[in-house]
A and B are shown apart, each in its own frame.
Chain A
Amino acid sequence: MNGTTTIAEFRDAVLDPAKRRHYQPRVAFHR
Chain B
Amino acid sequence: MTVRFTAPVLSGNELSTEVWRDTDGAVFRTSTDRGPVVTGAARMS
Does A pair with B?
Answer: no
